């Protein structure tokens, strides 16, 4: 389309990507099912190509469904603003990391990435990293081992039953929902890395924060339309102010913990508390103020920023990780043979507690000669064994945590593959379409972890450039490694101790049924039956 209106301006001779014009004011908004907007965008991409446009309300969305194009343009600063969506980005006042832009974002991004590297595997086997891993492992073990011990007591005492409800929600008799315990475990792993402390499940402050977060997601979901048709914010103002109030209340608790960490510094500025993001931030704050109290850097490291940053790390880390684990457990229930292979693999190659050192071991598969011969004898084209790591990747491909990615915004009018994209457009990196595209994946509808191996003979994982669950470029997820570490530690230790299956009534749970979508993709609620494995 040559020459178009955007924000009241006619840009002569410039070309927007193809896509429907939609109706005035509402654009194509009414064609979208809010439960599965990614389906509508995928259909547009199939019709109009790998870069296409759609107006949602009065906002221009550019949908990109090619990883190579995303890699090329998300490396450029002009493509790395945040989408001009008032909810949630503008409500964050440009603080934190997710909604930040410009120099403030660059300073905070560098700080956060450095911290994540120090506590992640790639930081090497340093003292800090090891201590952090031990703390994370303790959290996982308190979940999995607590259950084993209590399993024994459960049949005997009523008191034990009430303790156990803290660890696992047993209200459904033998069938348990892992949702609350997972939120508790992963939430505490994040609390540990951010604040250097954990909360017991029954702590009222912690329960309140969790409620505010869940409620906030619901309010945001309902009020989303006002992003696209600003006049609607009048209708949704109640929900928006409830969301804003929730943030303020959460920050009061964060500030309390920050003050605790401040007291861990002695008069000479030496820190004596646990390694955590808050402590490193306070250190950076001190150093910046000593260098120049008026500098942009000093202003960037404010207490207010720390509250928003902590909230971002927690918010970005919890649902993505918990949902991925929930999907993995569901797939393991539905594919018992894969569960058995992974269990055997873990038993053969790892000790009684699985640590991050075992990651490499479980990245490839070791097919026993016996099994190999049996397969060859039966002339089976493929060997059934599956690597634990490849399994996790394949689940993430089939059920991406953020199916529409996290949208970017253009900070200037820019060129993209011959098209002109105006300043302030929203770019949607549509993972849902990429992960289901036959051009990038062999029979994408098949669940096939082997696609992540270098080749059939060399059963080692290889990075796949079309697999971009953490997105690409300058803003790529800063918690990628930490998220994968949490998933790895939790699931491996969990599977080593439990066999997991769906209760007979739920066994017809359809993996293709429509999942729950509120920014992240969540399976519909399900219960599992856990059987402790013999040590
Ligand atoms: C399976 C787990 C996870 C997935 C699939 C995931 C995915 C993503 C994606 C797609 C983005 C958008 C990147 C962009 O805008 O280009 C993102 C950003 C981000 N993620 Fe994650 N994430 C995960 C876990 C985590 C964890 C555990 C943390 C924190 C510990 C985290 C912290 C962040 C932050 C702070 C950002 C914003 C980065 C920025 O704007 O500079 N994520 N994540």
Annotated binding residue 80: no
Output the CA 535–ligand 1 centroid distance in Å.
Answer: 36
Give, for ligand 1, the residue of 67, 120, 191, 479 to mutate: max count of ligand atoms closer than 8 Å to Cβ. Answer: 479
pLDDT tens-digit map of 502-512: 988 766 777 87
pLDDT of residue 456: 59
Output the CA 396–ligand 1 centroid distance in Å.
Answer: 14
The CA angle 346-348-352, to the nearest 5 degrees, is 65
Residue nearest to atom 11 of ligand 1 (CA): 477
Is residue 478 in contact with ligand 1, taking CB distance under 6 Å?
yes
Is residue 483 in contact with ligand 1, taking CB distance under 6 Å?
yes
Residue nearest to atom 40 of ligand 1 (CA): 98
Backbone angles phi, psi at 534, to 5 degrees: -70, 135
Backbone angles phi, psi at 219, to 5 degrees: -60, -45
pLDDT tens-digit map of 3-61: 344 443 435 556 999 999 888 888 888 888 878 889 999 999 999 999 999 998 888 99
pLDDT of residue 352: 83
pLDDT of residue 125: 65
DSSP 523: P
Percent of the chain predicted with pLDDT > 70:
81
Output the CA 68–ligand 1 centroid distance in Å.
Answer: 20
Give, for ligand 1, the residue of 76, 320, 401 to mutate: max count of ligand atoms closer than 8 Å to Cβ. Answer: 320
Going along the chain from its start, the domains and CATH numbers come out as: 102-197+274-532 (1.10.630.10)
| 163 pLDDT more than 50 | no
| pLDDT bucket at 459, cuts 50 / 70 / 90 | low
Which of 14 and 139 is assigned the larger pLDDT? 139
As a whole number of angstroms, the distance between CA 241 and CA 264 comes to 35
Which residues are CB-neighbours of 157 under 8 A, at least 6 positions away?
none
Exposure b/e, 209-246, CB count within 10 A at least 16 = b: bbebbeebbebbeebbbbbbbeeebeebeebbebbeeb
As a whole number of angstroms, the distance between CA 170 and CA 519 comes to 29
| 269 pLDDT more than 50 | yes
Tokens 């066994």 sit at which residue? 507
Residue nearest to atom 31 of ligand 1 (CA): 479
Give the atom of ligand 1 at the shortest distance from the alpha carbon of 193: 30
pLDDT of residue 341: 87
pLDDT of residue 230: 65
**Stated pTM of the model:** 0.89
Mean pLDDT of the residues in the chain: 83
Is residue 108 in contact with ligand 1, taking CB distance under 6 Å?
no
Is residue 406 in contact with ligand 1, taking CB distance under 6 Å?
yes
As a whole number of angstroms, the distance between CA 163 and CA 357 comes to 33
Beta bridge partners of 428: 63
DSSP 515: P
pLDDT of residue 534: 67
| pLDDT bucket at 156, cuts 50 / 70 / 90 | very low
Average pLDDT over residues 154-177: 47
Average pLDDT over residues 361-372: 56
| 377 pLDDT more than 50 | no
Per-state percent for the chain, helix, strand, coil, to nearest 5: 55, 10, 35
Which of 281 and 219 is assigned the larger pLDDT? 281
pLDDT tens-digit map of 273-302: 999 999 999 999 999 999 999 999 999 999
| 1 pLDDT more than 90 | no
Q: The tokens of 491 are what?
A: 């699931």
Helix (H, G, I), strand (E, B) or coil at 268: coil
Output the CA 318–ligand 1 centroid distance in Å.
Answer: 10
As a whole number of angstroms, the distance between CA 347 and CA 118 comes to 30
Is residue 45 in contact with ligand 1, taking CB distance under 6 Å?
no
Dihedral through CA 289, CA 294, CA 295, CA 296, nearest 10?
Answer: 110
pLDDT of residue 239: 75
Q: Are 529 and 178 in contact (CB under 8 A)?
A: no
As a whole number of angstroms, the distance between CA 154 and CA 239 comes to 42
Is residue 469 in contact with ligand 1, taking CB distance under 6 Å?
yes
Cis peptide before 340 (omega within 30 of 0): no
Q: Select from 405, 309, 438 the least CA-distant residue to 74.
A: 405
How long a stretch of residues is the chain? 535
């Amino acid at each position: 389309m040559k020459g178009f209106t955007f924000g009241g301006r006619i840009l002569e001779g410039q070309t927007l990507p193809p896509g429907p014009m939609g109706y005035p004011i509402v654009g194509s908004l009414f064609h979208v099912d809010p439960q599965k907007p990614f389906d509508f965008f995928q259909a547009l991409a199939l019709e109009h190509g790998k870069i296409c446009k759609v107006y949602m309300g009065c906002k221009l969305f550019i949908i990109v469904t090619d990883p190579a194009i995303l890699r090329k343009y998300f490396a450029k600063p002009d493509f790395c603003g945040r989408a001009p969506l008032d909810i949630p980005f503008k409500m964050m006042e440009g603080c934190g990391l997710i909604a930040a832009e410009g120099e403030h974002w660059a300073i905070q991004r560098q700080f956060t990435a450095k911290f994540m590297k120090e506590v992640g595997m790639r930081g090497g086997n340093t003292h800090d990293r090891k201590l952090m891993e031990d703390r994370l492992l303790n959290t996982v073990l308190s979940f999995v081992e607590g259950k084993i011990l209590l399993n024994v007591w459960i049949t005997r005492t009523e008191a034990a039953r009430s303790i156990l409800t803290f660890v696992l929600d047993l209200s459904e008799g033998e069938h348990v929902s892992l949702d609350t315990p997972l939120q508790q475990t992963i939430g505490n792993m994040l609390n540990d890395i951010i604040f250097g402390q954990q909360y017991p499940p029954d702590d009222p402050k912690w329960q309140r924060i969790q409620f505010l977060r869940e409620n906030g997601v619901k309010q945001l979901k309902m009020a989303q339309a006002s992003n696209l048709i600003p006049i609607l914010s009048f209708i949704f103002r109640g929900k928006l102010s409830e969301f804003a109030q929730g943030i303020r209340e959460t920050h009061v608790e964060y500030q309390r913990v920050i003050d605790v960490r401040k007291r861990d510094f002695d008069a000479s500025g030496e820190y004596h508390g646990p390694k955590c993001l808050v402590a490193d931030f306070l250190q950076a704050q001190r150093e910046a103020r000593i260098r120049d109290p008026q500098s942009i850097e000093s202003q960037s490291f404010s207490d207010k920023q720390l509250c928003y940053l902590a909230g971002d790390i927690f918010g970005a880390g919890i649902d993505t990780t918990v949902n991925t684990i929930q999907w993995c457990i569901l797939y393991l229930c539905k594919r018992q043979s894969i569960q058995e292979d992974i269990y055997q693999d873990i038993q053969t190659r790892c000790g009684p507690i699985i640590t991050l050192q075992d990651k490499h071991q479980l990245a490839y598969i070791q097919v026993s000669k016996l099994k190999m011969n049996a397969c060859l004898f039966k002339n089976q084209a493929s060997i059934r064994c599956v690597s634990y790591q490849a399994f996790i990747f394949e689940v993430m491909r089939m059920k991406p945590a953020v199916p529409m990615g996290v949208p970017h915004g253009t900070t200037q009018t820019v060129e993209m593959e011959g098209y002109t994209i105006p300043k302030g457009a929203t770019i949607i990196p549509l993972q849902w379409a990429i992960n289901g595209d036959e051009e990038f994946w062999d029979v994408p509808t098949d669940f096939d972890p082997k696609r992540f191996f270098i080749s059939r003979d060399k059963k080692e994982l290889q990075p796949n450039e079309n697999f971009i669950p953490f997105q690409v470029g300058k803003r790529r997820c800063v918690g990628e490694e930490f998220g994968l570490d949490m998933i790895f530690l939790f699931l491996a230790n969990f599977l080593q101790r439990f066999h997991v299956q769906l209760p007979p009534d739920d066994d017809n749970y359809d993996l293709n049924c429509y999942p729950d979508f509120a920014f992240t993709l969540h399976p519909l609620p399900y219960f599992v039956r856990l059987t402790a494995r013999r040590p």
